[in-house]
Structures are given as C-alpha cells and as structure tokens.
Amino acid sequence: MYVYCLLPFTDFPWCEKIKAALCNSFKLQKFRSLQLETLNATMAGKDIFLVMPTGGGKSLCYQLPAVCSEGFTLVICPLISLMEDQLMVLEQLGISATLLNASSSKEHVKWVHTEMLDKNSQLKLIYVTPEKIAKSKMFMSKLEKAYQAGRLTRIAVDEVHCCSQWGHDFRPDYKSLGILKRQFPNAPLIGLTATATSHVLKDAQKILCVQKCITFTASFNRPNLYYEVRQKPSNSEDFIEDIVKIINGRYKGLSGIIYCFSQKDSEHVTSSLRKLGIKADAYHANLEPKDKTKVHKGWAANEIQVVVATVAFGMGIDKPDVRFVIHHSMSKSMENYYQESGRAGRDDQKADCILYYGFGDIFRISSMVVMENVGQQKLYDMVSYCHNMNKCRRVLIAQHFDEVWDSANCNKMCDNCCREKLSFERMDILEQADNMSEKLTPLKLIDAWLGKGVSKLRVADVAPPVLPRDELERIIAHFILQQYLKEDFSFTAFATISYLKIGPKADLLKNEAHVITMQGRSNKKSVDKGEEEGEKSSELFFFF
C-alpha cells in the first residue's frame, strides 16, 4: 500500500470545478466517507484501488472526475444491468454517457468510435464489458488513437475483485485487462470493489499491471441494514406464504429484491407472487436483452414492486429506496451475500436483509462450485454464518473481511443481537461403524438416522433421535463444517451429485470423551404450561 498525503480540499487546482459539479451535475451537497480523498487522488493522476461498501458511493469517484476532465473515462463493468443502471441515472442528470456491447447496432458503434476521437465531443463515459477489451481489435485500435490524441483520460475497472481467481466473481476476461496499463501507462486507473480481501487486491494489482497504487479502504458497516437469517420452510407453498406475508405487512407498496438460486426458482417464485397479488417480475441471464431492460426500468420506476432475480441482476444496482432484500436461498459466498444484501437501503434509511437458510441449499450450491478454486470453502463460510445463532451478524461479516468490529455498535440491527442469548447444548456423538459400500446422499443419511428409507441403510440398535428433522440437518451441516464428514462428488452426463463420507477428523469420534458443542434449540413445548422450556440436553447417536 502506498500512502498519499492529501492537501486540504481548497489547495487543489480542480477544487472549485469538483465542488460545482457535485452540486450542479450530481445534485449532491456533500461527500461520503473517502469520496473526497479518492477524487483528489484520481484527479492528481494516481492509480487507485478503492474498497467501499455496497451503497457507499463508489461510482461517483470516477463519474465526477469524468465530468470535470477533458476527454472521456473508459469504464469496464462485468454486467449489462450494472451499466444500464448507471446510464439511466446519468441520463437523468444530463451527463453524456454510453455503452458498447454485443447488442449495439453498427450505427451506434460507428458514432461512439467517432466521438472517441472528436476533441469537441461531450461524451464523458464509455461503458464496456471486459470481453470488449479482450476480443475487439477494432475497439482497442480506437482506444490507442484516442490515447495518442489525449482523449483517454482515465480507466475505471468496476468490481475489480473479478480479476482474481481468489475473488468471488472471477471472470476470465478480466485477466486480459492488464493490456490497458501496458498500452496506456499515463492514463490513471481506478479499481473499485465492495468485497475484496487484501489477498484479492494484491492479486488484482498484479493482473492489472499496476506498479504503484494508493489503496483506500472504508469500513464494511452499513448501520441502517438489519440482518436476519430464517429457517426455510420445507413446504414450497408455506415458504411463498411466509414471503408474501412479509411483503404485504411491513413492506406494503415498498420496493425490494428477492434473490434465487436458479432461473427456474426465480420464474416459479415470480409466478407464485403474482397469483397472490404482488407486482413481481423475473430477471435472469437467459432473458432477452430488451426484456432485461424492461424489467430493470419498470422496477426503477416503481411500476414493479419486486424483482425476483438470480445473480445476473447484480453488482452496482443503485436504486436508493430498496427497503428489503430477501434471499430465497443462501448465496454461494459471504462476498456475494454482502454485495447482494447491500443493494438495500442506499438512501441510508432502515432496510432489511433477510436470508432463508435450508439444509438442501448446501448441496445444490456445492455441486455448482465444486470446480472453483476455493468455491467449497467460501460456501462453508456462508453456511457457518447461517448456523451462528449467538454472535452479532456484523461481527461475523467483519471477521470475513479482516476487520475488527465491536458488537455493541450493532445497535440491535441484527437478529442475533435482538434475541436472548442461547445457552449451549452439549451433544455426545458416538460413531457407529457400518461397512456399507453404498453411497449416502445427505437425504438418505438423515432418513436412515430417523429410521426411515431403505432398511439396509439403518443401523441396528440405534433408536431414532427425538429432535425434529431440521435440528438433525443442522447437526449434519455442523459435522461437515467441522470436517467429521466431508462431501464427495460424482459426475454424471447430466448432473453433479453430492454424497457424504467420513471426514478427516472422524477418528476423534472414536474417543468417548470427545464432546462436540454446537448451538441448537429444541424449542419443545411443555404439556402442562404450554410454554417453551428452552434448550434440552440430548445424547444423540451418530453413525456412518
């Protein structure tokens, strides 16, 4: 990290222009945390990495300098929805900006290429995907000519964590962006992200061929967001009813997003919500570009209350009045979850981030991320977050992003800080060896434990536990996280299947003195009093 000593705001030659553009062009009265420092550094021609929470105002850090500079700023974004979102806002502000992608007409491409070289052009920002840099020789040729003519003023790489294979949204074409600093060394670069760790930033710096840079890092915390994890109802109809009850209750008429695991899920949830009177529309990668734009604009104009989306409705969505983000399934990583949930409450007013956790989601996602470098570990970090019923959610998020956080500062803005602290239930888990050659899926394992399913998979002389199925699922997930069990994958022509096997720490269970402590709630009702008795100590027998 390189330290840049900033002068007072009024001592820079561009200060009056910046101040005027903030008020007149962007209709803002003041800067947010680290915006001013970043603006001064990029206007001074320095290469910068900016880590700022979702909703912290990263886009202003390259849009405002673009307005205050000659020439144009090249912005690389990973998603069309992100570019369209920013362009809608810029158009409303009267700032000239455009995008180039595979759907651009020949006439539009020709116009952009002309504007890139016209010294009298008013075009200030050109948005492209990384694929445009990697695959379009024509566009690179125009960039070279614009650079030589002094027209390429700045390069902004949004969602810069996508460069690194250690990042949560790695995009192979981001690795080709190093050509920009090699070909255009005097054009300052600004890389922006909400979710990069120090390891990812160092990797991205190498990939982008940035020799020296200033790194600004803002706190992860969004004090207006309330974080909550809920148990996902096993019945699909009950699940939809639960979501509708929330939307028609505290969020009636208010804007929100529901994130789903798959295109199929998003379409099913959309259809179910519409039947129950919710103005909802689906957004996923397989929609036609014109349909994506229609949904995006309808939601931005509050004609659609809820967008039911996959991750394709992604990074950089900047609607200020989103009052809720509901996760129909958990995200595949903490980085993804932090970014997706961060689309709520960008107006700094209270908003809710509700995540529904289901045992089956672990194995749906693990089958998808098994080929990724650190995909499985990132998923297990997410599962651990969902399982934790005692520690402040902000502390858990802070730990993931290498930041120290005092739970007293949460101000009861998460479910764990609002509930009474749970006592810990001690469970002695004894291994019952059974030499079966048949592979066990998680479902088969739990059925066998409950004394159900195929008879040959059951273990003799072990009574089924008295805990409900969802608590048994929590125990199995805990065993996976603690490596008493591990996932084993089988690949077919049509699917990747997750099985469970003995994990590297399973031998510890052979010691009868070995005790596993985990958080859990039995929530049993007293027959006489009709009240909750709280946590019960249980001796559970576990087998392989």
Catalytic residues: 58
- Look up residue 534 and give its two tokens: 């709280």
Q: Mapped to the 3 state alphabet, what secondary structure does 19-81 carry?
A: HHHHHHCCCCCCCCCCHHHHHHHHHCCCCEEEECCCCCCCCHHHHHHHHHCCCEEEEECCCHH
Contact between 430 and 411 (Cβ < 8 Å): no
Q: Enter the DSSP assignment of 338.
A: H
Residues 387 and 393: their CA atoms lie apart, in Å, by 11
500 beta partners:
440, 487
Strands (E), 148-261: 152-158, 189-193, 214-217, 225-231, 255-259
- Dihedral of CA 347/348/352/355: which sign? positive
Residue with tokens 């996760």: 327
Contact between 542 and 431 (Cβ < 8 Å): yes
- Look up residue 469 and give its two tokens: 């199925």
Q: Under DSSP, is residue 270 helix (H, G, I), strand (E, B) or coil? A: helix
Q: Which of 298, 18, 333 is nearest to 170 (CA)?
A: 333
Q: Where are the alpha helices (DSSP H) in 118-192?
A: 130-135, 137-148, 178-183
